[in-house]
Structure 1
């Protein structure tokens, strides 16, 4: 079902909602993580987003990663589930998201070089030199991913 979130929001307005999301961690050869500067909140997050009705977390991660970054990815491993925190968007929408985080690897496409309706720009950042992030959940996911990668190095 296309635009599932928009359809639900049309029914409930700005009432707080629990939504499911998926995101990916893509690291380059310098162990920097790819982040996107969002058009809606004007801060940085992991490429990813809300599940559409009928999608799995993994399917949403692959689809949203391509939409946000231009990169076709494949799931390498599941890092964790993150279910704490609330986000208030500039339009007044409030969500608590349950996010599945995956380690991904590129299999095609290329990093977007022009802005889209969701992404202003993309860049790689060291885990210890992150830009202003979208929310605490994003920070928690990046901390968990850095720890997960260190444990497997």
Structure 2
């Protein structure tokens, strides 16, 4: 069951399809590999990031969600692209169309989570040409764009 802002919306609209704003970040290590998190809800890999809370900007969402998903404090380097295509169905049947602002980010503090959380099972860096099973087509599109533009 979703909690917070999304949980409050779901209490009102049930499983009605939603359009939601999200933000995610591309963090590269010194080998030009990208950090991904293995999600607890779908058991596949995604960029750290997530849903915007009421009153937040895309940039604030990216920074907050990056810390929650990975343990890493990031700073926005620059916006990369807005992604607005694709419908995703969660395991519980909830359908969403995510409007996602993708950012290039840099590490400014913190460290990778050392234990599983309620959102992240594992974190790892991957080569753009050797990615694990990804969350959805939008995640694939974001990583393909980043590969050619960062």
Spell out, residue by residue over 1:57-105, the C-alpha distance to the aligned partner (whole angstroms, 9 max, x if none).
Answer: 0000000000000000000010000000011001111100000000000
Unmatched 5+ stretches in structure 2: none
User: TM-score, normalization: structure 2?
Assistant: 0.97
Report the counterpart of residue 137 of structure 1 in structure 2. 138
Q: Distance in 2 between matches of 1:91 and 1:12?
A: 14
Q: Distance in 2 between matches of 1:133 and 1:51?
A: 21
Report the counterpart of residue 85 of structure 2 in structure 1. 84
Report the counterpart of residue 45 of structure 2 in structure 1. 44
Q: Distance in 2 between matches of 1:36 and 1:133?
A: 10
How much is the aligned-residue C-alpha RMSD, in angstroms? 0.8
User: TM-score, normalization: structure 1?
Assistant: 0.95
Query: By how many angstroms is 1:117 displaced?
Result: 0.2
